[in-house]
Structure 1
C-alpha cells in the first residue's frame, strides 16, 4: 500500500466508474479521457493495495474491496456537498447535478415537464433522468433518488408516497372500428392484447392485466413507451396510465367501470442523503410537481 492517502478527486473518479460500470461512461461524466480514468483507477488501486474492479465483457464490476469503498466514498461525496451548501447558504438557487431514476412511464410522460419547470427556476441545476425497466440501485448510487411504484422495505432507504395515479384499458379508435365491439370483460378474449413481458415484470404493481383475467399477451414489451406506440398505431388494446393518454390522439378508454386501476408513486432516497439540503429541496419540488401534473393530465381524460 502507498504511503499517500487517496484524495477526494480519486474517490470522485472511483464513484464515476462504479456508477457507469465503464471507463468511457465515467469519462463522459467527468469530461475526462477514458485512458486517464483508467490510469487514475490503477493509481487508486495501487495506493489502497487492493483491486477495486473486475473487468468483464459487461464492463467494470466492483470487487468486494470496491463494494466496501463505495459506501465510504458515497458518504464522503454527501459530506462534500453539505460542506458546500453550508458555506454557500441554503436558501439560494439549486445547483449541481441530480440524477433521478424512474420507470419509463413516469420518465416519459411526467418527469420531463416537471423537471424542466424546476430547472427553469434553478438555471444552474443539472437534472438527469435515468429511465430503467427495473428498480434503481440507490446503494450503488446509480441515482440520487428514484421514483418507484411500490414502497421498498429493505435497505437503508427513506420512502415517501408522492401520489396515486389511475390506469384504464384503452385502444385507438382505428382499432375499435375494425374489430368486434367490447361491452364486457369476456369480449376481451376476442381481441389482441398488448402488455408487459410477464417474466420481465420487475414489480408486482406492474402486473396490470391480472385485473382483466387475461393470461395471454400477443404483443409484449418491457417498455411502457413501446406498448403505448402499439396501442396508438391500432395494433391492439392495453392498459394505459391516464396521465399518458393526453399525449396520444385518437385513444378511447374501454370498460372504465370494469377495469379501473389505482397505483401509487413513491419517492425513494438513501437515508444518507436526507441531511443534504439541496436534495431535500429538490425532492420537495419534485413531489409537488408530480402531484400537480398527475392531477392536471388525468383531468384531461
Structure 2
C-alpha cells in the first residue's frame, strides 16, 4: 500500500519529468528519488514511468495516478487551510503563470495590491512564452489568451483588452501606405504559442524584421525606434516615447482567461485569491487603457 509520502515523491517526479529536477523540491538527492520510485513501482507491480535519456514520462497508469494524487493533495491542502482558520488573510505561497505581456504590465500592480492586504502571502509570477502546464502543477493558476480545450481545468473569462499599432512619436504614419519602408516589430513566427498572438495577417505585413518571443523585448525595440508593431494598449503608459498609429484602420481585441485545475475548486484559499486576481486585473486593464484612449 503506497503511503502519502510515496505519493509526494511520485507527484514531484511526474511534474518535473526528471529525477534531478524533482530532487531539490523533495530535498533529496536524485539517487534516493530514483530508489523511491522504483520501490513504489515494485509495490504496485506496474510501471508508472517510461524512462529515457530525455527524462521520466508517465505511462497511462501513471497519468491516472497523477490525477488522483493531485486531487488528494488538493483535499489535504484544503483540510490544513480549514484547520488553520486562515479567514483573516491569505497565507502561504501561490504561483501564477502568465504570458509576459500580462506578467510585465499588469500583474506587478495587481499582485502588490493583493499582497498589501495579505502580509502572510507569497505571490510568485511565472512569466513564460508558452502555455503553463497546470496538470504538472507548474503553477496554481494561469492567465491565458485562449481558453484551453482539453484537460481537467476550469476556465473563467477575465476581460477583453485592446491592441493597436505603435511607433515612435517622431514617426509620421497617417495611412497604411506610410507603413511601407518601416521595419515590423513582432513575435518570432515559429515561436508563437497561441494563434491569438499571430497579428501579421491583421495588418497585411509580409514578415517581421525585428522579432522576439517576449512582449517586453518588443516594447523596448519599439521604444528604441526599431520600427512599427502591435502593442497592448495597457502597456503604452509604460512607454512614453511611443504613440498609437492608424487607430481607425487597425484595432484588435483579445481576451484574458483565468485557468485553474478542477481539483482546486474546493480550496477556499485559492478561490479567494482568484476572485481578488480577477477583480484586480479587470480594474487595472480598464485604468491603463483609459490613459491612452
Is the CA contact 1:136–1:143 (under 8 Å) kept in the aligned structure 2?
A: yes
* Partner residue, 2:2: 6
Is 1:148 matched up with 2:139? Answer: no
* Partner residue, 1:88: 84
Distance 2:251 2:193 in 1: 21
* Partner residue, 1:129: 125
Is the CA contact 1:193–1:216 (under 8 Å) kept in the aligned structure 2?
A: yes
Q: Which region of structure 1 is more displaced relative to structure 2, 127-136 or 289-298?
A: 127-136
* Partner residue, 2:188: 197
Measured after TM superposition, the shift of residue 57 of structure 1 is 4.2
Measured after TM superposition, the shift of residue 11 of structure 1 is 1.5
Q: Which runs of 5+ in 2 are unaligned?
A: none
Distance 1:57 1:166 in 2: 44
Partner of 2:265, secondary structure, is helix
Distance 2:124 2:35 in 1: 27
* Partner residue, 2:265: 274
Identify which of 269, 274, 283 aligns with 2:274.
283
User: What are the superposed Cα offsets for residues 83-132 of structure 1, whole Å, 9 maximum, x if unpaired?
Assistant: 11232235232223322221111112211222232223223323222222
Is the CA contact 1:53–1:66 (under 8 Å) kept in the aligned structure 2?
A: yes
Report the count of equivalent residues: 292
Is 1:45 matched up with 2:41? Answer: yes
Measured after TM superposition, the shift of residue 153 of structure 1 is 3.6
- Cα separation, partners in 2 of 1:58 and 1:247, compared to 1, 3 Å: farther
Mapping of residues 220-259 of structure 1, within 5 Å: 220-259=211-250
Partner of 2:2, secondary structure, is coil
Q: Which runs of 5+ in 1 are unaligned?
A: none
User: What are the superposed Cα offsets for residues 237-293 of structure 1, whole Å, 9 maximum, x if unpaired?
Assistant: 111111112222311221122122121111112222111111101100111111121
Is 1:28 matched up with 2:19? Answer: no
- Cα separation, partners in 2 of 1:26 and 1:171, compared to 1, 3 Å: same
Q: Which region of structure 1 is more displaced relative to structure 2, 286-295 or 247-256?
A: 247-256
Q: How large is the Cα RMSD of the aligned pairs?
A: 2.1
Q: Which region of structure 1 is more displaced relative to structure 2, 140-149 or 278-287?
A: 140-149
- Cα separation, partners in 2 of 1:42 and 1:168, compared to 1, 3 Å: same
Measured after TM superposition, the shift of residue 77 of structure 1 is 0.5
* Partner residue, 2:105: 109
Distance 2:122 2:9 in 1: 19
Distance 2:35 2:237 in 1: 50
Partner of 2:240, secondary structure, is coil
- Cα separation, partners in 2 of 1:86 and 1:16, compared to 1, 3 Å: same
